[in-house]
């Protein structure tokens, strides 16, 4: 009788490798991991902010209370143009558009457009017209 009763009870969900909760459903919604953030230092002010890998540098700066010059926010006007302190090497950034308003030579010298550039490593940029907002 007892065995029949135990067999009639629902089986517990199996544990998965990321959960120690035996009651949790195996396909329950879990919060996605946050993207990596990279420290950006604005010179000559020395202000710093974290730029998540999925956020353009300009928007990350604004979220931190730092206003970088900008107009179009799509890489065409070059109002936000600044240079990374990389010793003449390309800046550690990525673009999600094919034609940011920079030549290959400018990219190679560390110039970047924060409105459409995504940090891929910690970065120091020269932006003398930056202001607190």
* Residue-range definition of the domain harbouring residue 85: 37-132
**Alpha carbon distance 65, 67 (integer Å):** 7
Mapped onto helix, strand or coil, the DSSP state of residue 44 is coil
**Alpha carbon distance 82, 117 (integer Å):** 11
What's the mean per-residue pLDDT of the chain? 86
Mapped onto helix, strand or coil, the DSSP state of residue 83 is strand
Mapped onto helix, strand or coil, the DSSP state of residue 3 is helix
**Alpha carbon distance 129, 29 (integer Å):** 44
Please report, for residues 4, 16, 27, 75, 102, the alpha-carbon distance to residue 78 in angstroms, rounded to integers and kept in the order given: 75, 50, 46, 6, 8
31 occurs within a structural domain: no
Q: CATH number of the domain at 75, please.
A: 3.10.20.30
pLDDT tens digits along 68-126: 999 999 999 999 999 999 998 999 999 998 877 999 999 999 999 999 999 999 999 99
Number of domains, the chain: 1
pLDDT tens digits along 15-74: 444 445 545 455 556 676 777 999 999 999 999 999 999 999 999 999 999 999 999 999
103 occurs within a structural domain: yes
28 occurs within a structural domain: no
**Alpha carbon distance 69, 56 (integer Å):** 14
78 occurs within a structural domain: yes
133 vs 10, more confident: 133
73 occurs within a structural domain: yes
């Amino acid at each position: 009788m007892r065995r029949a009763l135990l067999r009639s009870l629902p089986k517990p969900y199996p544990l998965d490798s990321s959960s120690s909760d035996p009651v949790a459903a195996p396909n329950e919604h879990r919060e996605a991991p946050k993207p990596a953030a990279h420290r950006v230092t604005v010179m000559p002010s020395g202000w710093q902010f974290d730029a998540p890998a999925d956020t353009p540098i300009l928007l990350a700066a604004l979220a931190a209370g730092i206003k970088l010059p900008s107009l179009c926010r799509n890489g065409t006007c070059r109002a936000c143009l600044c240079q990374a302190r990389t010793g003449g090497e390309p800046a550690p950034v990525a673009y999600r558009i094919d034609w940011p308003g920079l030549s290959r030579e400018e990219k190679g010298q560390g110039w970047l457009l924060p409105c459409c550039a995504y940090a891929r490593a910690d970065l120091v940029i020269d932006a003398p017209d930056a202001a607190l907002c």
